A and B are shown apart, each in its own frame.
Chain A
Amino acid sequence: MGNLSLCPPNAKGHRPHMKSKLTIRSIALWLILAATAVFLITSFLANPALFIQQLLNGLAQGSIFALVALGYTMVYGIIELINFAHGDVYMIGAFTGLTIASLLGASEQSDPSLRIFTLLLMFITAPIVCAILNVTIDRLAYRPLRNAPRIVVLITAIGMSFILEQIGLWWAQLGALSYFGGSGATPKSFPALIPKINLLADTAININLTPKMVFALALAIPLMVALRLLVQRTRIGKAMRATAQNREASSLMGININRIISITFIIGGALAGVGGVAGGLYFEGVQWNMGFDMGLKAFTAAVLGGIGNITGAMLGGFFIGVVSALSDQYLAGQWTRAVVFGLLVLVLVFRPTGLLGTGVQQKA
């Protein structure tokens, strides 16, 4: 377990004929980058306000992607598992939030004190539910397979994802949730508890900055800073980094591996729960199968930043958010999926260690 592969993916001289191939690859990479740069500059000059608007939208939704991406990157960093169920944990978080809003009867029209109380309760309950859920999944499904081949664990994760989607489907059929319209498999609207106003309405700037955008960023960034501090400065963080580096050696150093892995799942689940509520508030809708798409986007973000790298996952999340917002605006929404996954493929093919480059090397 955990040995670095003998040959890094792009090592020069790996094969005699790789040299010419490398130049073709780098030329292709530079052409793509140059074309993107030209495209971005021209669209900025054509309408600066629109461009900045999309940039802000992208950063706001990117902060939600980043919250989910952190869970992916931490779990991958520590047990090298693509936790397919993570996107669905996000979905469960959103459903928890929606249920609380339905039970309290809070909606757009309710008075501010109820809305604030609902928000607080949502942001306390959803992370707890998701953390417990995530750690339970690890306990039941992943821990017994700790030393099994990766494909076995991966299939298990896909199975867990299906189970969670089934739970989501059942949850969506509960009567209490029909409060906000939409039943069963159809998308449900999430109450807009944050006022929908334009913070820049009175200024000359022609940009629509809504409180929910500010809220998403103000929620995500401190959490990320806190997580980074936790991993870099505390004893638990040190143990996590050690476990990620070499599980056997750290267990010999007296680190309780299973406990550290559980803590990782707890933190990842809690962040997904926060992300779920924030995502529900931001996108104003939840659906039982929305976890899959979010999971793919967040995983792309984690890979972009260099999987296993916490700062990378945050930057990757913002990056994916901005890219999808720009693609929505300048290419048409139906291409966004292809753009995001095209980006994923390009990064993995040209720079498998991610944009920050210091992540875990790919392993055989």
Chain B
Amino acid sequence: MTAQLSPNRIGLWLREHWKLTIFVILIALFPFFDTFLQESSDYVLGGYTGTLVTVLMYAMLALGLNIVVGYAGLLDLGYAAFFAIGAYAMTLISTPHPPWGIPVPFPFNYFWIALFLSALIAMVSGVILGAPTIPLRGDYLAIVTLGFGEIVPVLFRNLTCVTIPFLNIECLDLTAGERGVSLVALPGIPGLYTFNKIDLAPWYWLGLLIIAAAIFMNRRLEDSRLGRAWMAMREDEEAAASMGIDIVRTKLLAFAMGATFSGFAGAYFASYIQAVFPSSFDFTVSVTVLCAVVLGGSGNPYGALLGGILVAGIDRIGLNLMTTGAHKLGEIIPFLSGIDFQLWRYGLYGLALVIVMLVRPQGLLPSKTRARELLEGAELDIESGMEAAEQEVGRESKAG
């Protein structure tokens, strides 16, 4: 057991997965390519590293939601709530100027400690918000989580004057409301390097690292006892319960795990942006992440990753490129020169969702079991179509 990570074994693993290794190295080298692209095109193209950090953040969120929606089958429409909680926890713990005045003392406001603390806080809130939803299913669960997703930003917006009668606390500002809180701790290696907002490549690599960890955990959870319990619950809650699965525990663990991932993403995001505002966590975020999971293929971490990258990447980079391209073409076709695809975001996004759901409801990269489940619906569709055809025939013969 102790020899598992000997150089020999690592070499063997690399030789076995050489394609993946090369792919990952290429991805990791992107910032250098980006700089090259920027310099060679006179700063017309390139400069995508910063945007990619945001894309990676969406991918992290998608990997977290994949646990809740993909594995456990709990439709969560308020996932942004945990993202907000993670981001606010990170900011409030680590900022030197919290709204209430006195900053949190040293060991806690250090980035790496604050990161895990905010993930922990998000996890606890996942359990707290998950607990009342235990008896609910399907759409009802979706609506309650949507309610929570709407309430949490309202709390952050309005908890600016909290008075607790028995503790002699009067009008304590907890969240600074609409103004938001700024100056968040930066990650770094003590004594060697501290992250900054000029060199974005380290942020990108940190994001990649978190995503690698998230994929690893997703994969391990999928094959674990807990993962199998989640999937059993997803297929049939009653059957799972009668097979001895503790539904309450299993559901709470799904919410807690999903919230933890979201908390990490939120803390990372807050540190990258260096500020939090209540308006960054509205329903659009929840929907974007859910769409990423469903488009990519729920139940498969690689699908969720792909979905997150596609949805956020097209939004942040693709529309921009399309606009630039259309303006270039506009020199030939005048109609195109005035187009700004950024303004078409909603329509294109909605159209993509509808088309993918109609053509490929299992998502782009589905997990095998989930795809089978979702395609069963299609078979039923054929059956009901035949029923309808029989009815038609029956009616015609009656009329004739």
Contact = CB atoms under 8 A, between A and B. Distances in A.
A158 B350 CA distance: 7
A-side interface mostly? helix
A303 B158 contact: no
A158 B286 CA distance: 12
B139 A160 contact: no
B294 A334 contact: no
Contacts of B374: 148-149, 152
A183 interface: no
Nearest to A166: B347
B43 interface: no
A155 B357 contact: yes
Contacts of A7: 238
A273 to B, nearest CB: 21
Given A148-B361, A296-B150, A5 B353 contact: no
A349 B148 CA distance: 12
A334 B154 contact: yes
B345 to A, nearest CB: 8
Interface in B78-98: none
Nearest to A349: B132
Contacts of A156: 353-354, 357-358
Interface stretch (B3-11, B193-201, B215-223, B378-386): B378-386
B233 to A, nearest CB: 11
A345 B346 contact: no
Interface in A138-179: 141, 144-156, 158-167, 169
Q: Residue among A147, A292, A342, A363 with the most chain B CB within 10 A?
A: A147
Interface in A246-298: 251, 254, 258, 292, 296
A92 interface: no
Nearest to A185: B343
Interface string A75-98: 000001010000000000000000
A162 to B, nearest CB: 3
Nearest to B354: A159
A2 to B, nearest CB: 12
The number of chain B residues touching the other chain, given as a range, is 35 or more
Contact of B151 (A82, A141, A148, A342): A342
Contact of B377 (A148, A167, A345): A148
Contacts of A5: 137, 238
A220 B356 CA distance: 38
Interface in B331-371: 343-354, 357-358, 361
A50 interface: no
B283 interface: yes
A161 B350 contact: yes
A175 to B, nearest CB: 15
A192 interface: no
B140 A348 contact: yes
Interface string B234-247: 00111000000000
A364 interface: yes
Nearest to A331: B158
Nearest to A76: B139
B107 interface: no
Q: Residue among A162, A338, A342, A362 with the most chain B CB within 10 A?
A: A162
Nearest to A343: B147
Q: Residue among A9, A164, A165, A166 with the most chain B CB within 10 A?
A: A166
Contact of A158 (B140, B151, B291): B291
A362 B144 CA distance: 13
B154 A251 contact: no
Contacts of B238: 5-7, 364
Nearest to A352: B140
A245 B284 CA distance: 34
Nearest to B178: A334
B135 A10 contact: yes
A154 B298 CA distance: 14
A154 B142 contact: yes
Interface string A1-45: 000011101100001000000000000000000000000000000
Q: Residue among A159, A254, A334, A362 with the most chain B CB within 10 A?
A: A159
A10 B134 CA distance: 11
B287 interface: yes
A215 interface: no
Nearest to B379: A147
Given A145-B357, A338-B155, A363 B147 contact: no
Contact of B350 (A146, A166, A348, A364): A166
Contacts of A349: 132-133, 135-136, 144
A299 interface: yes
A344 B373 CA distance: 31
A341 interface: yes
Contacts of B316: none
Contact of A151 (B283, B287, B294): B294
A154 B148 contact: no
B158 A169 contact: no
Contacts of B377: 147-149, 152
Interface of B: 69, 75, 132-133, 135-140, 142-144, 146-148, 150-151, 154-155, 157-158, 236-238, 248, 283, 287, 290-291, 294, 298, 343-354, 357-358, 361, 373-374, 377-378, 380-381, 384, 387-388, 391
16 contacts: A6-B238, A9-B136, A141-B354, A145-B357, A146-B384, A147-B378, A159-B353, A162-B353, A163-B350, A166-B345, A166-B350, A254-B391, A335-B158, A348-B143, A348-B147, A362-B137
Given A141-B354, A296-B150, 14 more contacts: A9-B135, A145-B357, A149-B373, A152-B374, A159-B350, A161-B350, A165-B350, A169-B343, A254-B391, A299-B143, A334-B158, A335-B158, A341-B146, A349-B135
